Every structure is written in structure tokens, then in C-alpha cells.
């Protein structure tokens, strides 16, 4: 019997936005096209829509099942809009968002 399973991990994502493309990313979020990406679109949409800024970097929390982390998301769209993408594991979604809650939205 072959057993397979997926291990879900939560990450605090740090990425450097390509400033000249942020208007286009906002349009993709507003149109709902990101949330329709399968299987990760809704989670990615939520993270990007609520992303925070610190200096020249954006931060958000992402649930992921890929190895390496964010492989599908990067191939589909993240690498188009961001450079220097890194992830740090967090124990829970709340833990990740609490680390960045006092930072301003990237959409301000």
C-alpha cells in the first residue's frame, strides 16, 4: 500500500516588490484573477491583499505545501512581481501576522 500525504507549513514571506509593477499586481488582486489560481489562489490573494511594508520589503503570511516553499506560487506569479523572496517558518498564522501587524499596508 502506497501512502502519500502533504505536510502543510506556514511561512512569513519577505519579498522585495518591483515598484513599477505594483499597480498591475493590485489590478490582478482586484479582478480576482489571483484568487482563482488553483490550488493556492485564495490563500495567496489573502496574503498579498493584507501584505505589510517595512523599508523596501513586503511581508505576508503564506500557507504552503511545496518543496521548495512557494514553488507553484513563484512560477505562477510571485517571481513576476517580487525579487529576493525568502521565507521563515512560523508556528501559526496568528504568530506570523502578529510579527508584522504594526507595519503599514503595502497598498497605502
- Based on its alpha-carbon atoms, the radius of gyration of the chain, rounded to whole angstroms, reads 14
pLDDT band (50, 70, 90) for residue 65: confident
d(CA 68, CA 72): 9
Q: Check pLDDT > 80 for residue 63.
A: yes
Q: For 3-55, what is each residue's pLDDT tens digit? A: 444 567 999 999 999 999 999 999 999 999 999 999 999 999 999 999 999 99
Locate 68 and state its grid cell: 521548495
Nearest to 30 by CA among 10, 44, 49: 49
What is the structure's pLDDT at 7? Answer: 64
User: Any idea which architecture 9-100 has in CATH?
Assistant: 2-Layer Sandwich (3.30)
So what's the pLDDT on residue 8?
Answer: 78
- Mean pLDDT, residues 78-90: 98
Q: What is the pLDDT of residue 3?
A: 47
Amino acid at each position: 500500500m502506497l501512502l502519500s500525504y502533504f505536510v502543510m507549513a506556514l511561512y512569513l514571506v519577505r519579498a522585495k516588490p518591483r515598484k513599477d509593477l505594483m499597480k498591475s499586481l493590485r489590478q490582478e488582486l482586484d479582478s480576482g484573477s489571483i484568487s482563482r489560481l488553483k490550488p493556492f489562489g485564495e490563500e495567496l490573494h489573502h496574503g498579498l491583499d493584507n501584505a505589510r511594508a517595512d523599508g523596501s520589503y513586503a511581508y505576508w503570511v503564506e500557507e504552503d505545501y511545496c518543496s521548495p516553499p512557494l514553488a507553484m506560487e513563484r512560477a505562477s506569479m510571485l517571481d513576476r512581481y517580487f525579487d529576493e523572496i525568502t521565507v521563515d517558518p512560523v508556528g501559526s498564522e496568528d504568530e506570523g501576522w502578529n510579527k508584522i501587524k504594526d507595519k503599514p499596508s503595502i497598498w497605502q
